[in-house]
Amino acid sequence: MRRTCWLLAAALLVLVACGQEPDRIVSAETEDGRWELTLEARKNVLRSGENLVVRVTLKSLAGQPASTFRDTIDFVSNAGTVSPNRLVFTFVGTQDTTYAGTGNTTAYSDWVTYSLSTSSSQANENRQGEISALFRDLEAVLKIRIVQQ
């Protein structure tokens, strides 16, 4: 019984020492509640030489806009680079006479790739990279654990 308690305590200590894993999916909403920006990755851990593909989704929470407009999502990162570093998108408005479709025009989605820097000096002391997506007044940040080989 005593040995089991010690083993459980040791296992708990190891789990606490490893820290919490970063989320694979992060979202942020604009202050006016009209837009939601989501970053989603299949994994949140990278080793040297690996790349991470991230799905970026911008969703209109207020429905389809009345008029068509173009806008951008910009990306910044640490301990690596994001390609492309900007996504340009178009939302088609309900009053656009050239639009004949009936599909979902309240969401835009595309992919970016995070490449880990080959210089280990760029990784912070927590061995963590980050991708920040910037749209209007919001920022969504995806944290990536870096595993040294």
Domains and CATH numbers, the chain: 20-147 (2.60.40.10)
pLDDT band at 141 (very low <50, low <70, confident <90, very high): very high
Specify the pTM.
Answer: 0.77
Q: Give yes or no for a contact between 107 and 59, defined as CB atoms under 8 angstroms apart.
A: yes
pLDDT band at 55 (very low <50, low <70, confident <90, very high): very high
The per-residue pLDDT for 45 is 85
> Token digits for 10?
């040791």
Q: How far is CA 87 from the centre of its chain?
A: 13
Q: Give yes or no for a contact between 109 and 56, defined as CB atoms under 8 angstroms apart.
A: yes
Distance (Å) of CA 98 to CA 60, 63, 101, 125: 21, 19, 9, 53
At residue 1, does pLDDT exceed 70? no
Cα–Cα distance, 53 to 83 (Å, whole number): 10
Residue 31 DSSP code: T
